[in-house]
Amino acid sequence: MDWPHHDFDHPRSLARLPLTPEQRSKIMGENALSLFKLPMPESLTNKEKQRA
């Protein structure tokens, strides 16, 4: 069993960083998809189309 750690940074702490939407998207999943050569989910593909 694992216990909460006192030095834990919740993923929501990312919201405080001055990142563009593209940078935030890469950090929150697109980099991992690319690294493991996984297909891009349709929900992310649709966001890419909306940005263009």
DSSP output for 5-43:
-TT---GGGGGGS---HHHHHIIIIIHHHHHTTPPPPHH
User: At which residue do the structure tokens 């030095």 appear?
Assistant: 7
Q: Is the pLDDT of residue 42 over 60?
A: yes
Averaged over 21-32, what is the pLDDT?
A: 91
* Amino acid symbol at 34: S
Structure-block tokens of residue 21: 């939407």
Q: Is the pLDDT of residue 50 over 70?
A: no
Averaged over 6-31, what is the pLDDT?
A: 87
pLDDT digits (tens, 9 = 90+) for 1-14: 677 777 887 878 87
Q: Rounded to an integer, what distance in angstroms lies between the CA atom of residue 12 and that of residue 25? A: 13
